[in-house]
Structure 1
Amino acid sequence: MSSTNRYPALPSRMSLIAFKTRLKGAQKGHSLLKKKADALALRYRTVMGELHKAKLEMADQIKGSYFTITQAQFIAGDISLAVQESLKIPTYRMELQVENIAGVQVPSFHTQNSDADDGQGEAAAESRLPGDHSAAAGLSLTAGLGKGGEQIKEAYSAFRHTLSLLVKIASLQTSWITLDIAQKVTNRRVNALEKVVIPRVQNTLSYITSELDEQEREEFFRLKMVQKKKKAMAKIQQAARDAETASIEAERTRKRNLLIAQRDGGVAEADMVV
């Protein structure tokens, strides 16, 4: 097995346990990242569909808004200076919110009507009494119905909706880009775990297991050889002891025979003297 396809590790029981734990963690991380990638992909497709729909709506809305402002200018004349003079405070404020999608912080933008204090939204803002800060309300009261007041109010409402739609598109576009980047990063991590980390850990485990098995076979062979040598030495020692015992017995027999011979010789001499 090539060393480039595995991690450097000493073949030991501790290394085997460590890499088994590492493999389990990598597989669990791969599963979690896979679920995260699926969640991001689902949200990504949803945002992309909403963005496409909002852009199509925006094209028609822009045409209608500029048509209403053209009507108002045709009837009431140039109202740009009057609009600038009637503005006291910002009609809209931008609000930033952060949504957590599978651990990814996705920003979203919302418009907040600063002159709708009663919380009734656009309908309440358009039906303001004299003295409110709405540019359209002031201009429509000044111009009157005969001088394009109704057209100015329609243009104001159309551009209010256009502004809200622009903010929605900007929010969806930002979310789409954020999700696209997060999805690519997550997919790279999933692929790295699936194609590199997990196979290398598995190869390392196979290497450690094979080395430990080889060490076990070598140890078994060594023990068999030691046992064989011990048996051979035991046989040699037993043969030496048997030879020594036989030698001792032979010496004893020789001495006993010698004593018997000496005793028999003494008896024969005594008989001859008699």
Structure 2
Amino acid sequence: MSGKERLPIFPSRGAQMLMKARLKGAQKGHSLLKKKADALQMRFRMILSKIIETKTLMGEVMKEAAFSLAEAKFTTGDFNQNILQNVDKAKFKIRTKKDNVAGVTLPVFESYQDGADSYEFTGLARGGQQFAKLKKNYHKAVVLLVELASLQTSFVTLDEVIKITNRRVNAIEHVIIPRIEKTLAYIVSELDELEREEFYRLKKIQDKKRIARKKVEAAKAALLESGVVIEQAGNMLDDEDKDLLF
């Protein structure tokens, strides 16, 4: 219920049914958002554990790659300039996919090799084994870097969405639902008061009718004793009874 809405001046059954429908909708929305928050939290914890595992593995892979680079340079000498001069375009590329978790779109980075390896025969003269080991280790390191980037991007995205979802859950649970319940309680109390007033009014009308009827019967009895014509007296007393009712 927004701040612009006001309590009805004259509560009715229609207003009560409307507030009950709103309460049911708020409770249903709270349940769905709670399930969404739980699903996001589960995925968040799983991504966090994978990030820790990947970072631990990344340290070992980078250490092996650094050692293999040192071995290759020791065996064949400095080959950086030769490789840099022969590079015309990237062979190792990244594509983006999307993953959906409880309605939240997460970016997923995936690495792939475009074309054949330009340095497949590098190191045939000397150091071929060290070059093969070097390429294998750095390829594994780059794949892990892409995977880690994907995990950390999903981690940040989920963190923001979880905060927003939790704020909505708390707002529905602690603000919207109590406000609707208070409004509903107000309507019910007012309707009960109106019913009590109506019952009291009907009771007073019945009492007035009973008193008027007794007066009419007493007047008829007095007229019978005095010998006056009953029809005329009865019409006159009936008119008086109508004035009392209205």
TM-score bracket relative to the smaller structure: 0.7 to 0.9
Instruction: Give the gaps of 5 or more residues in structure 2.
Output: 230-246
Which residue number corresponds to residue 122 of structure 2? 139
Shift of 1:97: 0.8
Give the CA deviation at 1:92. Answer: 1.3
TM-score using structure 1 length: 0.76
1:44 paired to 2:53 = no
Q: Residues of 2 paired with 1:248 and 1:83: CA distance?
A: 139
Instruction: Verify: 1:197 aligned to 2:176, yes or no.
Output: yes
Deviation at 1:53, TM superposition (A): 0.5
Q: Distance in 2 between matches of 1:136 and 1:25?
A: 64
Pairing partner for 1:187 from 166, 170, 175 = 166
* 1:95-115: CA deviation from partner (whole Å, max 9, x where unpaired): 111111011111110101112
Q: Secondary structure at the match of 1:137?
A: coil
The letter for the 1-side match of 2:211 is A
Partner of 2:97: 97
- In structure 2, distance between residues paired with 1:171 and 1:64: 23
2:232 corresponds in structure 1 to none
Q: Which runs of 5+ in 1 are unaligned?
A: 1-6, 116-131, 251-274
Q: CA deviation at 1:8?
A: 3.4
Greater Rg over alpha carbons, structure = 1
Is it true that 1:209 corresponds to 2:207 in the alignment?
Answer: no
Tell me if the contact between 1:16 and 1:208 (Cα under 8 Å) persists in the aligned partners: yes
User: 1:9–1:15: 8 Å Cα contact kept in structure 2?
Assistant: no
Letter of the structure 2 residue corresponding to residue 9 of structure 1: L
The one-letter amino acid paired with 2:39 is A
Cα deviation, 1:181-236, whole Å, max 9, x if unaligned, reads 11111111111111111122122211111110111000000111111112222222
Quote the offset at 1:237 in angstroms: 3.0
> Which amino acid is 2:141 matched to?
T
Pick aligned residue for 2:7 from 6, 9, 29: 9
Q: Distance in 2 between matches of 1:157 and 1:179?
A: 33
Q: Distance in 2 between matches of 1:200 and 1:249?
A: 69
Q: Is the 8 A contact 1:98 1:105 kept in 2?
A: yes
TM-score if structure 2 supplies the norm length? Answer: 0.84
**One-letter identity of the residue aligned with 1:8:** R
Matches of residues 1-274 of structure 1 in structure 2 within 5 Å? 8-10=6-8, 11-115=11-115, 132=116, 134-141=117-124, 144=125, 146=126, 148-249=127-228
Asked if the contact 1:30/1:190 (under 8 Å) is kept, the reply is yes
103-112 or 184-193, which moves further after superposition?
A: 184-193
Q: Could you give the per-residue CA deviations for residues 141-186 of structure 1, whole angstroms, max 9, x where no partner exists?
A: 4xx2x2x232122111111111000000000001111111111111
The separation in 1 between residues aligned to 2:205 and 2:119, in whole angstroms, is 105
Secondary structure at the residue paired with 2:123? helix
Equivalents in 2 of 1:161, 1:88: separation in Å? Answer: 22
SS in 2 for 1:140: coil
Q: What is the Cα deviation at residue 59 of structure 1?
A: 1.1
Post-superposition offset of 1:249: 4.7
Partner AA of 1:30 in structure 2: H
Deviations 1:70-96 (A, max 9, x none): 221222222122112332332111111
Q: 2: distance between equivalents of 1:12 and 1:162?
A: 70
1:57 maps to amino acid:
L
CA distance in 1, matches of 2:83, 2:122: 7
The percent of aligned pairs where both chains have the same amino acid is: 42
Q: Give SS of 1:209's match.
A: helix
CA distance in 2, matches of 1:108, 1:14: 50
Asked if structure 2 preserves the Cα contact closer than 8 Å seen for 1:86 and 1:138, the reply is: no
